[in-house]
């Protein structure tokens, strides 16, 4: 049973298409990871689920309710931790939580009790009565998370919650998310950190260019690749023609599959091998055709390999590529109410 369901979601910012027919189902009580480079459409999808943004077209259902028409009911049920921490620098941390409690109409006793619990749980007691303007990034993020959890939401949505955080804050946040997942809170977490999604998510989707290109359990996605990941270079910087010749050669070797030419990494070749024997035979196959092995690495498949398999580029390369295309001014303008 899905707690969040997005169907054929489209959204554009001027000429830039942020969502391009996004379909997504988040099971109830799961911790669901959205993985993708910055600019892939994760934040736009999240802002639509949180009722902060209307899609150009498509359908959004949260907890069995239509999020585009029953916005108030949706807001009551969700907690949102935004990518850019928006806190009032003049208020103290405790005052911000009190304000949040009033905006969610908690009664005085319940509000105080929840604030005390969260201060304790997120280890904020040493600094909670200081003004927010003096907080580090990690403190702000913990406070923001406490704000999102104050009213005990059924659904917690976190947009890149650990970007730029210190190890201690990241560990506190991860610990709390695991605890919430065990209590059956549905959590939607967007991230471009592979290890974060790998560590936390029960299920995940990879978003690229505004649509889901792969989804499932992280382990299953890695297993689906069918073997270990090998990266091969026959020269330090090959050209396209050479890489293509090597690709044609090795794709016919028994036990090799999913051969991809990674243009961004000097036309290296990425592929899967079913066993170590295949790697042993690789050099002989290559030398027969006058190719040398300049560099070869072999690893267990990661989520980056899943991404690479689906898009032909690594997550890092995709980020660099998208960073140049994004119009941050236009995005900020469009996201301002």
Partner 1 sequence: MITTNPSISKDKQSRNDLNEMLQEISALTWRLFIQLIRRPSTLFAGVLQPLIWLLLFAALFSNAPIDFLPGSSSYGEFLGAGLIVFTAFSGALNAGLPVMFDREFGFLNRLLVAPLRSRSSIVISSVIYITTISLLQSFAIMATSALLGYGWPTLGGFLLIAITLLLLVFAITGLSLGLAFVLPGHIELIAIIFIANLPVLFASTALAPISFMPQWLGWIASINPLTFAIEPIRMAYHSSLDLNAVLINAPYGEVNGYSCLAILFILTIGLFFLIRPLLNRKLA
Closer Cβ to partner 1, 7 or 333, answer by number: 333
Q: By CB under 8 A, tell whether 147 contacts partner 1.
A: yes
* Count of residues touching partner 1 (by CB under 8 A): 29
The binder of partner 1 chosen from 8, 29, 70, 91 (CB under 8 A)? 91
Q: Is 86 in the site for partner 1 (CB under 8 A)?
A: yes
**Long-range pairs for 126-132: beta carbons < 8 A, 24 or more residues apart:** 127/93, 128/92, 128/93, 128/94, 128/97, 129/92, 129/93, 129/94, 130/92, 130/93, 131/89, 131/90, 131/91, 131/92, 132/87, 132/88, 132/89, 132/90, 132/91, 132/92, 132/93, 132/96
For partner 1, the binding residue among 19, 40, 87, 315 (CB under 8 A) is 87
- The nearest distance, CB 85 to partner 1, in angstroms, is 8
Q: How far is the CB of 57 from partner 1 (least distance, A)?
A: 18
Decide if residue 333 touches partner 1 (CB under 8 A).
Answer: yes
Question: At its nearest, how many Å lie between partner 1 and the CB of residue 69?
Answer: 12
Q: Does 1 bind partner 1 (CB under 8 A)?
A: no
Does 328 contact partner 1 by CB under 8 A? no
Q: Please tell me whether residue 109 binds partner 1 under the rule CB under 8 A.
A: no
Contact pattern for partner 1 over residues 198 through 237, marking x by CB under 8 A: ----------------------------------------
Is residue 268 involved in binding partner 1 (CB under 8 A)? no
Q: How far is the CB of 205 from partner 1 (least distance, A)?
A: 22
* Shortest distance in whole angstroms from residue 9 CB to partner 1: 19
CA distances from 256 to 228, 250, 251, 264 (A): 10, 7, 6, 22
User: What angle, 0 to 180 degrees and rounded to 10, lies between the N-to-C axes of helices 240-250 and 276-288?
Assistant: 120
The single residue among 80, 271, 291, 307 that binds partner 1, judged by CB under 8 A, is 80
Q: At its nearest, how many Å lie between partner 1 and the CB of residue 247?
A: 46
Round to whole Å and give the CA distance between 269 and 280.
17
Shortest distance (Å) from residue 118 CB to partner 1: 16
Taking contact as CB under 8 A, which single stretch among the options 87-95, 175-183, 233-241, 307-315 is the one that binds partner 1?
Answer: 87-95
Question: For partner 1, which is the closer residue by CB, 72 or 109?
Answer: 72
295 in contact with partner 1 (CB under 8 A): no
Q: Note whether 324 and 244 are within 8 A (CB).
A: no
129 is a site residue for partner 1 (CB under 8 A): no
Q: Is the Cβ–Cβ distance between 173 and 159 less than 8 Å?
A: no
The two most distant CA atoms of the chain are separated, in Å, by: 79
- Among 183, 288, 325, 337, which residue sits at the site for partner 1 (rule: CB under 8 A)? 337
Identify residues 45-74 at the interface with partner 1 (CB under 8 A): 50-52, 72-73
> Which positions lie near partner 1, rule CB under 8 A?
50-52, 72-73, 75-76, 78, 80, 82, 84, 86-88, 90-91, 95, 98-100, 102-105, 131, 147, 333, 336-337
């Amino acid at each position: 049973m899905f707690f969040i369901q997005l169907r054929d979601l489209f959204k554009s910012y001027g000429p830039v298409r942020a969502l391009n027919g996004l379909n997504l189902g988040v099971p109830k009580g799961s911790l669901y990871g959205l993985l993708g480079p910055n600019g892939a459409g994760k934040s736009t999808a999240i802002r639509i689920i949180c009722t902060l943004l209307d899609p150009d077209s498509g359908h959004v259902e949260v907890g069995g309710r239509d999020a585009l028409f029953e916005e108030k009911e949706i807001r009551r049920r969700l907690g949102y931790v935004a990518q850019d921490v928006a806190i009032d620098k003049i208020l103290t941390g405790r005052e911000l939580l009190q304000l949040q409690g009033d905006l969610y109409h908690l009664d005085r006793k319940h509000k105080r009790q929840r604030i005390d619990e969260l201060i304790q749980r997120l280890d904020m007691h040493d600094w909670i009565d200081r003004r927010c303007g003096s907080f580090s990034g990690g403190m702000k993020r913990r406070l923001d998370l406490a704000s999102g959890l104050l009213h005990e939401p059924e659904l917690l949505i976190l947009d890149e919650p650990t970007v730029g955080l210190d190890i201690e804050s990241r560990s506190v946040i991860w610990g709390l998310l695991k605890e919430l997942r065990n209590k059956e809170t549905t959590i939607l977490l967007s991230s471009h950190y592979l290890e974060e999604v790998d560590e936390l998510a029960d299920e995940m989707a990879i978003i690229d260019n505004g649509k889901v290109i792969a989804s499932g359990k992280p382990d299953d996605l890695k297993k689906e690749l069918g073997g270990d990941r090998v990266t091969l270079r026959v020269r330090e910087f090959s050209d396209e023609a050479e890489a293509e010749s090597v690709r044609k050669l090795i794709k016919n070797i028994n036990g090799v599959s999913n051969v991809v030419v990674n243009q961004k990494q000097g036309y290296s070749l990425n592929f899967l091998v079913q066993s170590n024997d295949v790697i042993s035979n690789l050099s002989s196959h290559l030398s027969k055709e006058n190719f040398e092995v300049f560099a070869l690495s072999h690893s267990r498949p990661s989520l980056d390999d899943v991404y690479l398999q689906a898009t032909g580029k690594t997550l890092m390369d995709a980020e660099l590529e998208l960073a140049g295309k994004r119009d941050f001014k236009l995005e900020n303008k469009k996201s301002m109410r």
